[in-house]
């Protein structure tokens, strides 16, 4: 942990979509900040909810006297933490990294505060923020696993454009505009395919057995966070024409039988989870800009005893990135 004090020097590295959301969450949750530093590749100013922040170029010297460093990270790319985390730690900071570079390092805790807060105590200066899709799924399923045990998970994700960054959101808007105006569709640049009026099962590079990196993240990270290498996880990651908030269709087989009402009661009593019951159901348009993980469409598998299906929705930039990172920082202090 870090030395207790009334206020902390906090550094945010990255001023893209996740970095801006981290700044927003820090202010909304009134994190006890003494001095706030914002770093990025180049100097500039950014405005968040009417407040202007001065962004300085990132350098090793910028980490002097920092207590907590939040690396915004970029999925699918080597993040700034690869270059600068070691130096920040050497100068006395604790680093929280939203990128994928250190998540499966056995010496780095991978933390969802509602699920495995005790793992924060094992850090050696660096804590990893899980993948956005993994966070919302394990937040919902951890109470089930703790009480009944989970044998198998089959998940299909329906991931918003913002998961690929602000350029992907701009591409979605540009493609929709072109289609409505009946203009020539701009070539895909931020994403591998046209996203407007389309879905495609391709998030991250393809890897072993035909699965993408995003799909393997859900397999490996789920096991690490839940401390159970025997959970069978099969994932399909799909990009959909939604701006914010990821959705997931999840099938679960439990080790011990549980009724749907017992499962629902677990979620009603779980922090950070909001159960939406029929005839209503969670949707990205309602989950966007919210902190909760929404769960609905809960129903039993009629052919397999001890199995159920559910629909999980959460804002990928909030709980899936910025909020989870700030909650880790709150655990530290």
Euclidean distance between CA atoms 43 and 194, whole angstroms: 32
Q: Which residues contact 166 (CB under 8 A, 6 or more apart)?
A: 16, 17
Concerning whether 227 is annotated as a catalytic residue, the answer is: no
Residues 63 and 88: beta-carbon distance below 8 Å: yes
For residue 259, the surrounding DSSP H or E stretch is none
Q: What is the dihedral of CA 51, 54, 60, 62, to 10 degrees?
A: -80
- Tokens read off for 21: 């959301």
Residue 95 in 3-state DSSP? strand
Euclidean distance between CA atoms 216 and 103, whole angstroms: 12
Concerning whether 202 is annotated as a catalytic residue, the answer is: no
For residue 323, the surrounding DSSP H or E stretch is helix 323-332
Q: Which of 132, 227, 289, 309 is catalytic?
A: 132
Which residue, chain included where needed, has tokens 């500039």?
44
Which residue, chain included where needed, has tokens 């800009």?
289
From the centroid of its chain, how far is CA 131? 5
Q: Which of 67, 145, 246, 310 is catalytic?
A: 246
What burial class does residue 156 get, using C-beta atoms within 10 Å of its C-beta: 0-12 exposed, 13-18 middle, 19+ buried?
A: middle
DSSP tag of 151: E
* Secondary-structure breakdown of the chain: helix, strand, coil percentages, each rounded to the nearest 5: 35, 25, 40
> Sheet holding 293-300: strands in order across?
232-239, 150-159, 246-254, 307-314, 293-300, 273-275
Residues marked active site are found at: 132, 246
């Amino acid at each position: 942990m870090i030395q207790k004090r009334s206020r902390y020097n906090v550094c945010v590295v990255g001023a893209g979509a996740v970095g801006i959301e981290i700044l927003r969450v820090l202010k909304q949750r009134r994190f006890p900040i003494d001095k706030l530093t914002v770093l990025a590749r180049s100097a500039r100013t950014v405005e968040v909810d009417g407040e202007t922040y001065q962004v300085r170029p990132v350098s090793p010297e910028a980490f002097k006297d920092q207590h907590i460093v939040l690396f915004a990270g970029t999925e699918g790319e080597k993040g700034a933490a690869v270059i600068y985390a070691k130096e920040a730690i050497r100068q006395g900071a604790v680093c929280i990294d939203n990128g994928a570079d250190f998540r499966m390092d056995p010496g780095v805790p991978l933390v969802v505060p509602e699920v495995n807060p005790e793992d924060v105590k094992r850090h050696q200066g660096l804590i990893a923020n899980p993948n956005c899709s993994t966070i919302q799924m394990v937040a919902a399923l951890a109470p089930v696993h703790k009480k009944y045990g989970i044998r198998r998970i089959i998940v299909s994700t329906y991931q918003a454009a913002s998961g690929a960054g602000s350029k992907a959101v701009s591409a979605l808007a540009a493609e929709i505009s072109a289609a409505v105006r009946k203009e020539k569709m701009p070539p895909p640049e931020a994403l591998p395919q046209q996203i407007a009026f389309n879905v495609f099962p391709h998030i991250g590079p393809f890897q072993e057995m035909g699965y993408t990196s995003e799909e393997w993240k859900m397999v490996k990270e789920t096991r690490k966070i839940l401390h159970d290498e025997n959970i069978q996880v099969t994932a399909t990651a799909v990009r959909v024409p939604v701006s914010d908030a990821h959705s997931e269709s999840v099938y679960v087989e439990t080790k011990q039988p549980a009724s749907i009402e017992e499962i629902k009661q677990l979620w009603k009593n779980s922090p950070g989870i909001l159960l939406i019951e029929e005839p209503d159901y969670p949707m990205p348009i309602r989950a966007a800009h919210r902190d909760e993980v929404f769960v609905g469409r809960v129903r039993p598998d009629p052919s397999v005893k001890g199995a159920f299906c559910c629909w999980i929705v959460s804002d990928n930039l909030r709980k899936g990135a910025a909020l989870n990172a700030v909650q880790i920082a709150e655990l530290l202090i």
